[in-house]
Amino acid sequence: MTEDPGRSRIRIALLGLGRMGRLVERLAPKHEAVVVLRLDGSANADGAGLSREALGTTDVAIDFSTAEAVPGNLERLCEHRVDTVLGTTGWHGGSDALLDLARRSGIGLVHGANFAFGVNALYGIARDAARAMAGVGRRDLAIFESHHRGKRDAPSGTALRLRHEIRGVGWEGPIDVTSQRTGYVPGTHELRFDSEGDTLAIRHTVRSRTVFAEGALAAAHWIRGRPGVYDFGECWEEVAEKETRGGTR
């Protein structure tokens, strides 16, 4: 990366040491970040590892832990006023109370089901396609998603977000969602508008999980010192613009 004089090195507390956590740690130096605290579930039950002393000089926490761990983690991070990037999925039960806690605490929080810039572009494409297809006769709409066999939540958070976005533009017909968990697939999502005469298919395929880690690290730079709660799907373009100014990959 080329250096941006307006962008300083960022200190990260990493929560969750699974595939995504390890990848964030490996890519951090390329994105002007250093991991100063790393916690897995055994060292952080109910957020117990997130003491003021442990967090020390942390600028931003990146959470790729588990859905069960999110409430405890976020409560401690709000208590110690640590800006946070939340990439864990499946935690949205009771999410309104957690997000309200973050707002009242004054921290900056970016949360999202998927930190790949391409997927977040897909949300807008899905809205536009649903608007167009709603006016051209009967269409059946299906969402297909496929992930590796280790992914816990099904449907994926991205598939649920796609369905939410499509409903938001007035699509009234049924939306069939199919999930597959097999092998080592990082993630594929496809929308299919089907009629008797033709099919319109729109697909996003992840080739490498690095896109999720890079998006989370870019979001960490963006949220540092920025109070408020932000859905990554609503701020990703601004995050991407800042990342582009900060350097080239």
The catalytic site residues sit at 147, 151
Closest by Cα among 53, 26, 73, 1 to 243: 1
End-to-end alpha carbon distance in the chain: 6
- The residues, any chain, with a CB within 8 Å of residue 124's CB and separated by 6 or more, are none
d(CA 112, CA 120) in angstroms, rounded, equals 10
d(CA 164, CA 175) in angstroms, rounded, equals 10
Contacts made by residues 168-173, CB under 8 angstroms, sequence distance 24+: 168/127, 169/127, 169/130, 169/131, 169/134, 170/130, 170/131, 170/134, 171/130, 171/134, 171/141, 173/139, 173/140, 173/141
| CA distances to 63, 96, 180 from 120, in Å | 19, 22, 21
